[in-house]
Amino acid sequence: MKEWYRGPIYDWHLDFYLPADSPDAFECFDPERIANEITASGANLVVIFALNQHGYAYYPSRIAPPHPKLKGIDYTGELVRAFKKRNVHVFTYVNYMNIDLREKHSDWWQRYRDGSMIIEEGWGVPCPNGPIKEYMSNIVREIAKNYETEGFFFDMYGFNRGGCYCQNCRNAFKSLYGFDLPDKEDWDNEIWRKFVEFRYLSAYNTMREIRDAAKEINPNLLWITHCSPLDSWHRATGFYLSPKLDDILHTEVSPRYGKYRWTPGEMGKLLIATSKGKPCIVNLADLHVYWDKPKGWFYFPNSATQLKLCTSEIVANGCWPSIYMEPYPNTIHNPYTNEGIKEAFSLARKFEPYLISETIKSVALHFSKSSYDFFEDYIYSFRGMYKALLEAHIPFDIVTDEDIIEGRITDYTLLILSNSASTSEEVNKGLTRYVNDGRSILATYATSLYTTQRQKREDFGLKEILGVSYKKELGPAYLSVDPPLNDVLTLSPIIAHKIIEVGIENNTEILGRIISPSPTDLSPFTYVSAPSRPTKIPSITKKGRVIYCSSDIGYSFMKAGYIDHKNLVANIVNLLVGEKLPIKVKAPTTLDVVLREQEGKILIHLINLTTNQVVEDAGCSSDIYDIIPLYEIEIELCRKDITKIYKASDNQELPYRVEGDKVVLKIPELKIYEIVVCEVNEKRPAF
Ligand SMILES: [Zn+2]
């Protein structure tokens, strides 16, 4: 029997963060009403509060203090029963923070080096090496024994920045490694590096212990540690913890407040890359704020349009949607958000037969976890490249170090290393094999200049395949680009915030040069009169199938938002693998294209990110309420054995013509989301 949690999943996350003195808490609690509202949205999984972040149980616990306003109500139990009756899957929520127990159990808390408790404006959490692990294990055991919950959602777990120097950590480190904890951050010091390893190890071991306590009661229980592949080494969860411990990977994103329209899709791609085939949920969690009047935590309500757009990004990238809902403390939901969730789940359900699918592999973007851990700016190098590929309509997947080492990248024709500065010897070997096997690489800036222990190498680890050697760091500079890479670029020199001076091998071509260093830092983009003649210093080089760009194009695209960066990336991709790209799309930059397949079908997901203006002046929280349709999207699919093309939304056939080895078609109008289904002759498509 197929396990239900492999999908489809439509998850309504019923948040309910009530402080002890929230005046009208639980006043209108009616489990039947709540279960009816949530079931009507089309949700098939609901997460119910059992222990909140203040440390209060929402059921009559013998371990945790029950919430003072419950007055005997079994909130958790009644809701679990109400949802089970309606055949909705139920997980119970437990939070690790236990804020109101801080004074009573001060030995649970993480400590700074000076021994003081880490409060972090309320976000300080207990230490994974402290006695809280027994407490939390007993809580999940109690819930698993008393209720028909099918799983746990464990929230707010991990280490805090600046910690942890509590006595338990000091003792554990000493007994494991034989040293005292290091007193300052120093990546050249082996003890410091052991300390970082110790964090990951401690976070993993404690969460496994708590999870196993629940699974002892019921081995079929499913586990979610709520964290993110973008958690840093400070937190020490997410990337290395979740794929090993969790049955479902679950991460939240906040797509509002100046974030990107494609944030949920980016997280979807990242989660899938780390998931080892486990199901993934991306949760929409926009900004909860704490108010004193009325007392409690609240979310800004999302418009139906916003939720539909985000949900489209999530399901198009192979994940399942989850939406947070924070009722008023008296348990009444905001009807605006109720409606939005219903519309978002309905949209996903409409495409359900096409949602369990595989990506079609052609281009991959590397996410370098160690570069992310070590270099604050790395996220912009990565995201800028992500944005450029998206806007150029080049479908791509994200891959990790493991994919490179274990050879799972061989199906991709091009791998992009956007300032993947920290690489291990194994990764460098894997990349060398990849190139020697006839595939292409685009690498930028400091790629492979550091080890995964943050040690700077004397030269690029990938020197041989890049065909360049490291000389020195230059300041910000202007670049010029030679044909064919200058196609459709503007007349302006290209701005580069960060650039490395390199030497080149004899057989390395030069495709671009540095014009001159800039006297400004170029952020935001400032044009400073530059001499028109380029220097001899190369900025873009090509050796065989490998292009190296000595500036951090991704970073500059994020910081300057300059169209030439996007077009330069597209030109490089075309020069390297243009003939091998499975699809070409002509459309405005706000169209996101995701290419996937099922047996006998190629699925072209089109998500329209063209929205109403977002103005954040005046403290506006900038909701998206309008999608501007796109017209006449031109698609060239590099397959000729197509038998039928139609829209998944209404099964309406789309006319197409065969031109040589490809088919050409037009999508007359795209509102928000569509899957173009192309049926093919062979069972298994191969580009
Ligand atoms: Zn500690």
Sign of torsion over alpha carbons 356, 358, 364, 366: positive
Question: Cα–Cα distance between 52 and 409 in angstroms, integer?
Answer: 42
pLDDT at site 493: 82
First-to-last CA distance in the chain?
33
Instruction: State the distance from the centre of ligand 1 to the C-alpha of 120, rounded, in angstroms.
Output: 15
Question: Cα–Cα distance between 205 and 199 in angstroms, integer?
Answer: 10
Angle between the 563-577 and 378-391 helix axes, to the nearest 10 degrees?
70
Question: Cα–Cα distance between 645 and 631 in angstroms, integer?
Answer: 18
pLDDT at site 580: 94
- Residue 87: how many other CB atoms lie within 10 Å: 8
Question: Cα–Cα distance between 299 and 508 in angstroms, integer?
Answer: 55
pLDDT at site 535: 84
Question: Cα–Cα distance between 251 and 230 in angstroms, integer?
Answer: 9
Question: Cα–Cα distance between 647 and 645 in angstroms, integer?
Answer: 7
pTM of the full structure: 0.96
Angle between the 190-217 and 132-146 helix axes, to the nearest 10 degrees?
20
Instruction: State the distance from the centre of ligand 1 to the C-alpha of 111, rounded, in angstroms.
Output: 6
Question: Cα–Cα distance between 122 and 142 in angstroms, integer?
Answer: 27
Instruction: State the distance from the centre of ligand 1 to the C-alpha of 113, rounded, in angstroms.
Output: 10
Query: Exposed, middle or buried by CB within 10 Å (0-12, 13-18, 19+), for 600?
Result: middle
3-state helix, strand, coil in the chain (%, to 5): 30, 25, 45
Domains recognised in the chain with CATH numbers: 4-355 (3.20.20.80), 361-580 (3.40.50.880), 583-680 (2.60.40.1180)
| Contact assessment for residue 585 and residue 634, using Cβ atoms and an 8 Å cutoff | yes
Task: Please provide residue 323's backbone torsions phi and psi, each rounded to the nearest 5 degrees.
Answer: -130, 130
Instruction: State the distance from the centre of ligand 1 to the C-alpha of 17, rounded, in angstroms.
Output: 26
Residue 639: partners with Cβ closer than 8 Å, 6 or more residues away: 582, 602, 661, 662, 663, 678, 680, 685, 687
Instruction: State the distance from the centre of ligand 1 to the C-alpha of 206, rounded, in angstroms.
Output: 12
Instruction: State the distance from the centre of ligand 1 to the C-alpha of 128, rounded, in angstroms.
Output: 7
Instruction: State the distance from the centre of ligand 1 to the C-alpha of 126, rounded, in angstroms.
Output: 8
Instruction: State the distance from the centre of ligand 1 to the C-alpha of 167, rounded, in angstroms.
Output: 7
Amino acid code (one letter) for 392: A
Question: Cα–Cα distance between 162 and 160 in angstroms, integer?
Answer: 6
Instruction: State the distance from the centre of ligand 1 to the C-alpha of 582, rounded, in angstroms.
Output: 51
| Contact assessment for residue 423 and residue 400, using Cβ atoms and an 8 Å cutoff | no
Instruction: State the distance from the centre of ligand 1 to the C-alpha of 296, rounded, in angstroms.
Output: 29
Residue percentage of the chain with pLDDT more than 90: 81
The secondary structure of residue 605, as a DSSP letter, is E
Question: Cα–Cα distance between 279 and 276 in angstroms, integer?
Answer: 9
Question: Cα–Cα distance between 576 and 415 in angstroms, integer?
Answer: 10
Instruction: State the distance from the centre of ligand 1 to the C-alpha of 202, rounded, in angstroms.
Output: 9
Instruction: State the distance from the centre of ligand 1 to the C-alpha of 127, rounded, in angstroms.
Output: 5
Question: Cα–Cα distance between 503 and 144 in angstroms, integer?
Answer: 63
| Contact assessment for residue 570 and residue 583, using Cβ atoms and an 8 Å cutoff | no
Amino acid code (one letter) for 256: R
Instruction: State the distance from the centre of ligand 1 to the C-alpha of 223, rounded, in angstroms.
Output: 24
pLDDT at site 492: 80
Instruction: State the distance from the centre of ligand 1 to the C-alpha of 160, rounded, in angstroms.
Output: 10
Instruction: State the distance from the centre of ligand 1 to the C-alpha of 94, rounded, in angstroms.
Output: 21
Instruction: State the distance from the centre of ligand 1 to the C-alpha of 164, rounded, in angstroms.
Output: 4
Instruction: State the distance from the centre of ligand 1 to the C-alpha of 464, rounded, in angstroms.
Output: 44
pLDDT at site 355: 97
Angle between the 553-560 and 378-391 helix axes, to the nearest 10 degrees?
80
Instruction: State the distance from the centre of ligand 1 to the C-alpha of 173, rounded, in angstroms.
Output: 10
Sign of torsion over alpha carbons 158, 162, 167, 171: positive
- Residue 218: how many other CB atoms lie within 10 Å: 15
Q: Which residues of the chain have pLDDT under 50?
A: none
CA nearest 329: which of 570, 52, 3?
52
Question: Cα–Cα distance between 172 and 202 in angstroms, integer?
Answer: 9
CA atoms within 13 A on the CB side of 502: 31
Instruction: State the distance from the centre of ligand 1 to the C-alpha of 158, rounded, in angstroms.
Output: 11
pLDDT at site 577: 97
Question: Cα–Cα distance between 177 and 182 in angstroms, integer?
Answer: 12
Instruction: State the distance from the centre of ligand 1 to the C-alpha of 165, rounded, in angstroms.
Output: 5
Instruction: State the distance from the centre of ligand 1 to the C-alpha of 106, rounded, in angstroms.
Output: 12
CA nearest 247: which of 217, 212, 221, 284?
221
CA atoms within 13 A on the CB side of 467: 21
Instruction: State the distance from the centre of ligand 1 to the C-alpha of 390, rounded, in angstroms.
Output: 42
Instruction: State the distance from the centre of ligand 1 to the C-alpha of 169, rounded, in angstroms.
Output: 4
Instruction: State the distance from the centre of ligand 1 to the C-alpha of 108, rounded, in angstroms.
Output: 8
Instruction: State the distance from the centre of ligand 1 to the C-alpha of 200, rounded, in angstroms.
Output: 13
pLDDT at site 532: 62
Instruction: State the distance from the centre of ligand 1 to the C-alpha of 548, rounded, in angstroms.
Output: 44
Instruction: State the distance from the centre of ligand 1 to the C-alpha of 123, rounded, in angstroms.
Output: 15
Largest CA distance in the chain: 80
Instruction: State the distance from the centre of ligand 1 to the C-alpha of 172, rounded, in angstroms.
Output: 9
Question: Cα–Cα distance between 340 and 301 in angstroms, integer?
Answer: 9
